[in-house]
Amino acid sequence: MQAAVHPGAVIADPDRLVAYEADALTTSRGLPDAAVFPSDRDELIRVIRLLHEARVPFVARGAGTGLAGGAVAQGGVLICTTRMHRILEVDPQGQTALVEPGTLTDEINAATEGHGLRYLPDPASAAACTIGGNVATNSGGPHCLKHGVTTDHVAALEVILPDGTPLVVGRGEDGGLDLAGIFTGSEGTLGVISRIRLNLAPVATAVRTFLALFDSVADAGKAVGRIFDAGVVPVALELVDRETIAVVEASIFAAGLPLDTEAALVVECEGDPEEAAEDLEEAEKAVLACGAREVRHAHSDEERLAIWQARKKAYGALGRLAPDVFVQDAAVPRSTLPDLLPRFAEIARRHDLRLANFFHAGDGNVHPNLLFDRRDTDQVARVQKAGAEIMALCVNVGGTITGEHGVGADKVRHMGLVFGAEELSIMRAMRNATDRLSLANPGKLLPEEGGEAT
């Protein structure tokens, strides 16, 4: 392996490998036997061919910010793409960019903004996560409500199959199946993404934002539906609850929110200046009709940024409350939010756990976050139980087990809640078509045959 890559690109020292023992889901842990950091696609191909010849399983890893334990290896080799971070081309006429998988998501916009273009999906982790990880998990983000998630912006992919064969796949525009769509969201189980052709869009002409404060989380949930009923599709519609507000206000990201606020909605509209202003006015009427006690408009870019920092940095701020956080990710019909939010709180109370909610309310993508200390086995057991109850509740109201973070290792146990034996068997057959030896990210995404029960 050392001969296949540049010097210093293989780590096999167990002490150094500890840095890769988890992703951002701290309950799912494992150590690889080695980690390798290819610099380009040729090195990546050589690495995968070697692993295939030696029948060694491997796990692709970007920045390790995933929240489902997907980028964790139990033995075998971790293939880290962080040194493959070049933006190979920006095509202003065709409005696309060709990038390597280890490119940080935020860096794409830094490279395209000069051309008046942007990459639209914006996971809250965009400053740290890689575009390869985004494609592999089909990431969402606050602004995906109107713009669509990662798959809506992937034009084509190059993937290195688990036997080392490079393959360029498109969206079925020439006929045939949408293979790039199948690889998107496949969580490293079909091969390693080595290049990504992304669609770009013109930068927005006008953006308008307000923050609405509520005395009841159920009212904030109702306001979400009312905004859509008014015919407005905001570009982002996010909810943060009281626990989150308290911890953010105690951090460097404080945005001056009153601590007695039960829930706040961030509402953002975008378009030409008139359209954005009209949409925002309608959205304001809707939140006031649902009992918002105050609406605060962002009058400058600085004020807008402060509102977004309070939302996007909330996860980090939770570190003030507990050493670990179990970020739940489920998608539910928006109309169920007013009923569900108090029920999440009830589940957390019953298991004696602290809960903080901040999530993409507009598309019903909830994140009930359970706070805990993983050194306390009893707390971990309670977190697992509460998490399973929350998942079952979300599925029961017509939702599903992941909105954007993927299945990884964590949610394999819940796959049987949403998929029948037939669907799982088709997915296994598709996996087998690219990976007959089951080398790519084993144990993730799909339960073993017969292991569907939760």
Ligand X SMILES: Cc1cc2nc3c(=O)[nH]c(=O)nc-3n(C[C@H](O)[C@H](O)[C@H](O)COP(=O)(O)OP(=O)(O)OC[C@H]3O[C@@H](n4cnc5c(N)ncnc54)[C@H](O)[C@@H]3O)c2cc1C
Q: Where along the sequence are the contacts to ligand X (CB under 6 A)?
A: 23-24, 59-67, 70-71, 81, 101, 123-125, 129-130, 132-134, 136-137, 139-141, 187-188, 192-193, 315, 404-405, 408, 441, 444
Give every CB contact of residue 102 below 8 A, 6+ residues apart in sequence. Answer: 62, 80, 81, 82, 83, 84, 85, 130, 132
Q: How far is the CB of 68 from ligand X (least distance, A)?
A: 7
Please say which residue, 60 or 286, places its beta carbon nearer to ligand X.
60
Q: How far is the CB of 47 from ligand X (least distance, A)?
A: 12
Please say which residue, 32 or 351, places its beta carbon nearer to ligand X.
32
Please say which residue, 65 or 336, places its beta carbon nearer to ligand X.
65
Q: How far is the CB of 214 from ligand X (least distance, A)?
A: 22
Please say which residue, 63 or 290, places its beta carbon nearer to ligand X.
63
Q: How far is the CB of 292 from ligand X (least distance, A)?
A: 24
Please say which residue, 139 or 244, places its beta carbon nearer to ligand X.
139
Q: How far is the CB of 354 from ligand X (least distance, A)?
A: 18
133-143 burial, b if ≥16 CB within 10 A, otherwise e? bbbbbbbbbbb
Q: Cα separations (Å) of 250 from 290, 323, 326?
A: 28, 16, 21
Please say which residue, 133 or 364, places its beta carbon nearer to ligand X.
133
Question: For residue 265, what are the β-bridge partners?
Answer: 212, 239
Q: How far is the CB of 282 from ligand X (least distance, A)?
A: 26
Give every CB contact of residue 245 below 8 A, 6+ residues apart in sequence. Answer: 257, 259, 261, 264, 310
For the chain, state the CA radius of gyration: 22
Q: How far is the CB of 141 from ligand X (least distance, A)?
A: 4
The rounded distance, in Å, linking the Cα atoms of 198 and 217 is 38
Please say which residue, 214 or 315, places its beta carbon nearer to ligand X.
315
